[in-house]
Amino acid sequence: MSAGIQSNMAVNAQDHLLYCNHLGKCFANKEVLRDIQLTAEPGDIVALLGPNGAGKSTLMGCLIGLLEPSTGQALVFGKPATELSEEDRSRMGYVPQSFQGFSWLRVQELIEYLGQFYPKARRALSPTLHAWADLDPKTRIKNLSGGQRQRLSILLALRHQPDLLILDEPVASLDPVGRRDFLQLLRDYLRDRQATALISSHILSDLEPVATQTVIMLNGAMHAQLSMVQFREQTRWIRRDDAEPWSRPLPEGLQVLATGGDQYAVLVANWNSAWASRLANQESSEIVVTAPATLESAFLAMVGTAA
């Protein structure tokens, strides 16, 4: 991962709600994850981004304890994810990419059945959550649409009031109104409880307003981890005003994230106003600086550069 944009990590893993330390995962002879360094704190909403095959779902599998790391550590609440106690697991909520199984049960039957595993889920269902899900409790699971199944999956993940949510494409099957309402519901829940969410989604326009930090994965590795404050204030496209190539390599303090289609514009992190005059002196040319239009536009540039 690019050192210039890596979040600062304390050595003590106990300080972090979620902590990956040089995490790697192999299937047979194929390396799917390598050297993942990741932290998340209470209140964080982490946008986990990457193209298909980048390793996002595998990383989530390691974090919820379904997959054993091949190297390194995946720690949740300061403990290995594969060794969490029943009490620890009751503090987690997980939404998979697709909801499967229990097709013979009715919605209310499944809610009550799974609620037996979580003491807090035995209380009355939150009216706000119930209204958002908008599900007929008598409908069998097999008769639910894709969007309704996703709403049910989200309801089940939130009902027991977890401290950590792992959400794999949670809104892919929802319509725009459903996505908007869910993200507001999620934001309110995380704020009120000071809980944490790690969300993988290809709909970056949904995540940009709510995320506190973003992690970009490419080919099984972390290309970048930066806060959204860093993205907005310190990530810039830069080029010479004469559109000529750079005469020298950029200084080490500027971390290159991507190059533009003409190869002369570069997307950099760690930008501040002092760099403009320094680069102008180096290049004997004025430097044109623009902010990325959106997180999605910056992401697409990074993916294109890595392709």
Average pLDDT value for residue range 94-112: 89
Calpha distance 247→33 (Å, rounded): 36
Two tokens at 165?
Answer: 């949510």
What φ, ψ does residue 62 adopt, rounded to 5°? -70, -35
Calpha distance 80→272 (Å, rounded): 39
Residues pairing with 90 in the sheet: none
Average pLDDT value for residue range 15-42: 91
Calpha distance 46→40 (Å, rounded): 7
Cβ atoms of 84 and 65 within 8 Å: the answer is yes
Average pLDDT value for residue range 127-131: 87
3-state secondary structure at position 173 = coil
pLDDT tens digits, one per residue of 158-217: 988 899 999 999 988 888 888 888 888 898 889 888 899 999 988 898 899 999 999 999
| 106 DSSP 8-state letter | B
pLDDT grade, residue 100 (50/70/90)?
Answer: confident
The pLDDT value recorded for residue 128 is: 87
Average pLDDT value for residue range 116-133: 79
Calpha distance 66→74 (Å, rounded): 11
Closest CA to 35 of 47, 23, 45: 23
pLDDT tens digits, one per residue of 257-306: 998 877 789 999 999 989 999 999 999 899 999 999 899 999 999 988 66
Calpha distance 162→174 (Å, rounded): 22
3-state secondary structure at position 129 = helix
* pTM of the predicted protein model: 0.88
Closest CA to 84 of 150, 18, 147: 18
The pLDDT value recorded for residue 105 is: 94
Cβ atoms of 272 and 251 within 8 Å: the answer is no
Cβ atoms of 99 and 87 within 8 Å: the answer is no
Average pLDDT, the chain: 88
What φ, ψ does residue 201 adopt, rounded to 5°? -160, 145
The pLDDT value recorded for residue 4 is: 37
Q: How many CB atoms lie within 10 A of CB 18?
A: 23
| 140 DSSP 8-state letter | B
Q: Where are the beta strands (DSSP E) in the chain?
A: 18-27, 30-40, 45-49, 71-76, 79-80, 92-95, 164-168, 196-200, 213-218, 221-227, 236-240, 255-259, 266-269, 287-290
